[in-house]
Amino acid sequence: MDAMRILHMNKGNGETSYAKNSIVQSNIISLGRRVMDEALKKLMINSEILSFGIADLGCSTGPNSLLSISNIVDTIQNLCPDLDRPVPELSLSLNDLPSNDFNYIFASLPEFYDRLKKRDNNSECLGFHHGSGGPCFVSAVPGSFYGRLFPRRSLHFVHSSSSLHWLSQVPCGEVNKVDGVAITADLDNRGKIYLSKTSPKSAQKAYALQFQTDFSVFLRSRSEELVPGGRMVLSFLGRNSPDPTTDEGCYQWELLARALMSMAEEGIIEEENIDAFNAPYYAANPEELKTAIEKEGSFSIDRLEISPVDWEGGSISDESYDIVRSKTEALASGRRVAKTIRAVVEPMLEPTFGQIVMDELFKRYAKLVGEYMYISSPRYPIIIVSLLRMG
């Protein structure tokens, strides 16, 4: 599987597009807003920046693609009067893989600039008033964030939301030597498309190793691009438990595998294709995150927390987990969740299973999710971490 090619959301503005089915990701951005604002305030208090380099990594497409940088600009503009300093020149870089729908973002930029200019009772926003501060520049940077993207020490603040649970590649299986040549086997995870209770320990180990490798590369790359004292705020799907096969970390994939297997049993798709497919995804826990950060050594953890979001995107408290709903309501929720998941994973599934089966697949998936939500109140644990570039 070529992750660089297939790791993008459903493009366009249709009924199954990411643009129309990304409320979960929007709410995750909102969930991390407090931590982001706190990091920006600490950054600006400790250093006076005249030209502010900012990057949003994994910006995706649709309305969320400009939400994070809009929040960042608003926070900086609100902080500057309190700190009695002019708004700095803002260089805002939007990053995602080359397969991302950047055209949607470019088409949205005029509205983004208009909103900024209409701030503060329809007067020019501070960032556009040359007597008070420099202008705001937006650029796109296609490429994988598992590697260098920007010049050395060109960034002051890095943000990423709902992206770092995606791996750079599907984990490999065990490596064996045949006649002195290293042969890497495919991952042994038959009947599943991600980790599950029945996945062998070798698959669990391979996924954990791939995450550690990828996240270490991510940190090392950002450590070169950020100035000393720079800040980074990351939010992504994770888990609380040390066990990677708990429902909180993988059950949305388990239900999708069941939908696929039901189609294989009816001869609609080939079971061997299910065996061959594994999602380039990993829900890490806080200890795995701390291990990678401490080992890489360039960052200190300023804040690390986990907040739950239900499968439809709502922020929830411990008291609201056990929601009583009718079967009809649960099935309706299942359909909404299925549309959200489809907008994200359909481009990954199509090359293996074919576009023609997608409607049937997600119809079955919606029913399975709805039945599960009738007896349970599933949520995604969202890891939010704020990091300081040391040195």
Of all residues in the chain, the percent with pLDDT exceeding 90 is 76
pLDDT-derived band of residue 345, with 50, 70 and 90 as boundaries?
very high
In Å, how far are 165, 309, 380 from 383, measured between CA atoms? 10, 11, 9
Residue 169 pLDDT greater than 80, yes or no: yes
Residue 13 pLDDT greater than 90, yes or no: no
Q: Total structural domains in the chain? A: 1
In Å, how far are 46, 58, 346, 366 from 39, measured between CA atoms? 11, 19, 35, 39
pLDDT tens by residue, 65-111: 999 999 999 999 999 999 998 989 999 999 999 999 899 899 999 98
- Distance between CA 176 and CA 172 in Å, rounded? 12
* Positive or negative: CA dihedral 28, 31, 36, 37: positive
pLDDT tens by residue, 126-162: 444 433 445 889 999 999 999 999 999 999 999 999 9
Region 170-176 average pLDDT: 71
67-83 and 33-46 helices, crossing angle to 10° = 40
Rounded to a whole number of angstroms, the CA Rg of the chain reads 22
pLDDT tens by residue, 174-226: 644 444 443 344 688 999 999 999 999 999 999 999 999 999 999 999 999 99
Domain that holds residue 126: 3-389
Q: Where are the alpha helices (DSSP H) in the chain?
A: 3-6, 23-31, 33-46, 67-83, 102-117, 119-122, 201-225, 247-265, 271-276, 286-296, 327-353, 358-375
Q: Where are the alpha helices (DSSP H) in 47-200?
A: 67-83, 102-117, 119-122
pLDDT tens by residue, 19-42: 899 999 999 999 999 999 999 999
* Positive or negative: CA dihedral 104, 231, 219, 155: positive
- Would you state the structure tokens that stand for residue 157, as one six-digit string? 């603040």
pLDDT-derived band of residue 316, with 50, 70 and 90 as boundaries?
low
CATH code for position 278: 3.40.50.150
pLDDT tens by residue, 213-242: 999 999 999 999 999 999 999 999 999 999
Of all residues in the chain, the percent with pLDDT exceeding 70 is 88
Nearest to 62, CA basis, from 114, 4, 23:
23
Among 204-208, 279-283, 311-315, 341-345, whose mean pLDDT is lowest? Answer: 311-315
Q: Which amino acid is at 391?
A: G
> Across all residues in the chain, what is the average pLDDT?
90
Region 318-335 average pLDDT: 78
Between residues 19 and 331, the one the model is more confident about: 331
Nearest to 161, CA basis, from 383, 389, 313:
383
- Distance between CA 282 and CA 206 in Å, rounded? 11
pLDDT given for residue 355 in this prediction: 96
**Contact by Cβ (8 Å): 338, 364:** no
Between residues 299 and 61, the one the model is more confident about: 299
Token pair 């949520």: residue: 379
- What is the pTM (predicted TM-score) of this model? 0.91
pLDDT-derived band of residue 314, with 50, 70 and 90 as boundaries?
confident
pLDDT given for residue 116 in this prediction: 80
Alpha-carbon torsion, ordered 297, 298, 301, 302, to 10 deg: 150
> Which residues are bridge partners to 385 per DSSP?
234, 304
Nearest to 283, CA basis, from 222, 242, 322:
242
Nearest to 214, CA basis, from 269, 171, 253:
171
pLDDT-derived band of residue 48, with 50, 70 and 90 as boundaries?
confident
pLDDT-derived band of residue 11, with 50, 70 and 90 as boundaries?
confident
Region 301-321 average pLDDT: 79
